[in-house]
């Protein structure tokens, strides 16, 4: 029989929260005709300063598909499929690296930048709603705890 364990309860709680977060985000992202993964790619390319990957990994140049795959924890093939859809929707385009033309980098189109700005107010309100009941100090502590858990997982 599986016994009650605080550590397991915390990690399964994070997992459940992540699932609910994705389904909640899908509501306003779907209105824009995007999947959650497509949205996450767009905010990566927009260099959202809140993304943990971009906090850890400084990016002066536009991202490459392999970097997106690493951040999202998916295969390069999966990212290629998602990018193809975003390029078909004219939200993302590939550009040559200025130093090595063999390297393809990804940038947002004007259409994508406008879409992100159009969604931003609803995204902000949704985020605030999901964290209601937590004061500023609790939010900062919670973020710190999440960062520590992620670090522990990366160090393992």
In the chain, the domains with their CATH numbers are 14-118 (1.10.10.10)
The token duo for 37 is: 């993964």
pLDDT tens-digit map of 19-37: 988 877 767 788 889 998 9
pLDDT tens-digit map of 110-156: 999 999 999 999 989 988 999 999 999 999 999 999 999 999 988 98
Distances (CA, A) of 106 to 19, 65, 94: 28, 7, 5
The token duo for 92 is: 């993302």
């Amino acid at each position: 029989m599986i016994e009650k364990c605080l550590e397991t309860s915390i990690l399964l709680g994070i997992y459940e929260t992540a699932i609910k977060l994705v389904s909640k985000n899908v509501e306003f992202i779907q209105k824009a005709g995007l999947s959650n993964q497509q949205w996450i790619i767009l905010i990566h390319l927009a260099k959202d300063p809140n993304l943990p990957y971009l906090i850890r990994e400084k990016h002066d140049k536009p991202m490459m598909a392999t970097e997106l795959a690493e951040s999202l924890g998916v295969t390069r093939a999966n990212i290629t499929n998602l990018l193809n859809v975003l390029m078909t929707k004219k939200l993302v385009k590939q550009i040559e690296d200025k130093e090595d033309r063999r390297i393809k980098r990804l940038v947002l189109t004007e259409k994508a930048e406008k879409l992100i700005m159009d969604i931003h107010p609803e995204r902000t309100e949704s985020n605030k709603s999901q964290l209601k009941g937590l004061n500023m100090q609790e939010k900062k502590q919670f973020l710190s705890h999440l960062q520590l858990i992620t670090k522990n997982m990366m160090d393992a």
